Amino acid sequence: MWLDVACVLPTRSQAKLACEGGKVDVNGERARAHRRIRAGDRIGVTAPGGRRELVVRGLAERSIPRREARALYEDVTPPPSAEQLEVSRLDRMLAPRRDEGRPDKRERRERRKRKGW
């Protein structure tokens, strides 16, 4: 799978799941996990970070260091517009906070005091 060799997706299994889930298209057509890729192909990948458009510049059979893997493709994703940046900033501000986990000793004491124990 070219997607994990080129470090576009972190693992081979994630690349396979993305292909099966319809998150990857090659030259405008939905891609299967074992599709042959050639130099010059346009690949669209929808990942948790957003949609990326890539042009294949080279191929590799095995995993290579990330620095070399970046030379296998050219990222032609258009930069986000000002409106998209503002929407994502507002989403981050309005998103619910994650639970910090178990309360520490001080927080437990404060809770006990509030309950009157």
User: pTM for this structure?
Assistant: 0.69
Q: What is the pLDDT of residues 22-55, one digit of tens each?
A: 999 999 999 888 888 999 999 999 987 789 999 9
Element (H, E) at 29: strand 29-30
Please state, in angstroms and rounded to a whole number, the distance separating the CA atoms of residues 49 and 110.
39
Note the pLDDT tens digit of each residue in 3-12.
Answer: 888 888 888 8
pLDDT digits (tens, 9 = 90+) for 51-70: 999 999 999 888 889 899 99
pLDDT tens sequence across 65-110: 989 999 999 999 999 899 989 998 998 888 887 777 888 899 999 9
Residue 17 within any structural domain of the chain:
yes
Q: For position 116, what pLDDT does the model report? A: 84
Domain count along the chain? 1
Closest-CA residue to 4 (of 40, 42, 33): 33
Where residue 78 sits, what CATH number does that domain have?
A: 3.10.290.10
- On whether residue 107 sits in a domain, the answer given is no
The residues, any chain, with a CB within 8 Å of residue 88's CB and separated by 6 or more, are 80
> Which residues, 6 or more positions from 70, have their beta carbon under 8 angstroms from its beta carbon?
6, 7
Between CA 5 and CA 64 the distance in angstroms is: 7
117 within a domain of the structure (yes/no): no
Q: Is residue 105 in some structural domain?
A: no
Q: Quick one: pLDDT at residue 25?
A: 94
pLDDT-based confidence at residue 2 (cuts at 50, 70, 90): confident
* Domain boundaries, position 21: 2-94
71 within some domain: yes
